[in-house]
Structure 1
């Protein structure tokens, strides 16, 4: 089973539930620690909800640990070194710990473990401005055909790219389209495995 058939299958949903349930005892306490560090850093609410584009283009409110000084960051992200991020926020972003609360959305059925990421409307406008119309239409389909993912191929590959540059946006379209057409069990497991390696590498360097 590959492509949209896998993306929309009950088997993928069952796998997502299994993995999310197994990770919750680690992810939720880690997110709580991160939120506590943010609160200690500036005394402001450390968790917020933010509208993202979900399955079939339907918006949903994403639960997120705050990493920036200026609140919710409604414009496009500038990556883990975003100058708007607080000191603990930069650590959370580099290790993707700010995303750990998203496991809640996997359990609720808003998200998947591996699929193209849910974007802000602002991000989607940038994609429309940069991509040729035919490519944008295919990317728009690819990025909304299924539940958006906690992790994605592009999320793992984008680390070395200049955030929101043309190369960054073009590579996002390529990865998301490939993820949609080539979706399968093996690809999901590879994305999750690559994400775990990146996270472990960050923790090892920081320790």
Structure 2
């Protein structure tokens, strides 16, 4: 009963207070990063993308851009490894590109802790069990993030996400929060092996090698 009350009420209150506090405290840093992105990567400071959130509803996620908009002769974006600059890699290594998601938390799209939101096009590929990851708000950090991040397979991510849904509590969230800082500082699991991001997921059990053209 206590866990259910936390999940339905107190978790959201903590998210609002936490996101609002961090946005105020980090505002100078956010301005500096935004200016640096503008200088290094040009217009469009923020990267926006449709992601799947609570109960399978889509929302627009916000991140600082970490890649250029370079395209080939046909107008298609180049693969991630050709667009990720040293500056962009720095932002990713220290998870600074994720900071604008505090706004997503404040307006209710996300929580501070929860399964990471995947791109909206994956919606039709989930199994019933995998879809359960959307029974809670997605988070900036989550159980899969502190247990391997992008160094683990897609299937492992789903297993860990559903575990979190079934065990969500204040103590679990606190544990994940405390584990997040060492993961960020040690810069572990930022990308999958031989990838600058994560290979695209094309369905249950399929570890495709195609790159995700996203940030």
- Once the two structures are superposed, residues 71-92 of structure 1 have per-residue CA deviations (whole angstroms, 9 ceiling, x without a partner) of 8xxx9x97xxx55322111111
2:30 alignment partner in structure 1:
31
Output the TM-score relative to the length of structure 2: 0.73
What does residue range 160-199 of structure 1 map to in structure 2 within 5 Å?
A: 161=151, 168-199=153-184
**Distance of aligned partners of 1:182 and 1:33 in 2 relative to their CA distance in 1, 3 Å threshold:** same
Gaps of 5+ in 2: 71-76, 188-215
Structure 2 CA distance, aligned partners of 1:116 and 1:123? 14
What does residue range 1-207 of structure 1 map to in structure 2 within 5 Å?
A: 1-2=2-3, 5=4, 8-70=7-69, 82-123=81-122, 128=126, 136-141=127-132, 143-159=133-149, 161=151, 168-202=153-187
Structure 2 CA distance, aligned partners of 1:7 and 1:83? 44
Structure 1 CA distance, aligned partners of 2:129 and 2:5? 18
**Distance of aligned partners of 1:160 and 1:13 in 2 relative to their CA distance in 1, 3 Å threshold:** closer
1:20 to partner: Cα distance? 1.4
SS in 1 for 2:144: helix
1:27 to partner: Cα distance? 3.6
Output the TM-score relative to the length of structure 1: 0.76
Q: Which runs of 4+ in 1 moved over 6 A?
A: none
- Cα RMSD between the aligned structures? 2.5
1:16 to partner: Cα distance? 1.2
Who wins on radius of gyration, i.e. which is larger?
2
**Distance of aligned partners of 1:22 and 1:119 in 2 relative to their CA distance in 1, 3 Å threshold:** same
1:6 to partner: Cα distance? 5.2
Structure 1 CA distance, aligned partners of 2:145 and 2:24? 23
Give the structure with the larger helix fraction.
1
- What is the aligned length? 179
1:132 alignment partner in structure 2:
none
CA contact (8 A) 2:49 2:61 kept: yes
CA contact (8 A) 1:154 1:175 kept: yes
Structure 2 CA distance, aligned partners of 1:101 and 1:41? 18
